[in-house]
Amino acid sequence: MGEKADVWQGTLALMVLKTLETLGPLHGYGIARRIEQTSGDLLSVNYGTLYPALLKLEQEGYITSEWGVSANNRKAKFYRLTRAGRKQLGREARAWDQTTAILARFLSPGEGRS
Distance CA 18, CA 52 (A): 17
Cβ pair 69, 76 in contact under 8 A: yes
Q: pLDDT digit string (tens) for 11-33?
A: 999 999 999 999 999 999 999 99
- Which domains does the chain possess? 5-107 (1.10.10.10)
Distance CA 55, CA 64 (A): 9
Q: What is the pLDDT of residue 93?
A: 94
Higher pLDDT among residues 87 and 7, named by residue = 87
Is residue 78 within a helix (H) or strand (E), and if so which, with residue range? strand 75-81
What number of CA atoms fall less than 13 Å from residue 111's CA on the CB side?
9
pTM: 0.85
Mean pLDDT of 35-60: 94
Q: What is the pLDDT of residue 113?
A: 54
Q: 64, 15, 52: which is closest to 36 by C-alpha?
A: 15
Q: What is the pLDDT of residue 3?
A: 72
Q: What is the pLDDT of residue 2?
A: 61
Confidence at 6, pLDDT banded by 50, 70, 90: confident
Q: What is the pLDDT of residue 4?
A: 77
DSSP-based three-state secondary structure for 17: helix
Q: pLDDT digit string (tens) for 79-114?
A: 999 999 999 999 999 999 999 999 999 998 775 555
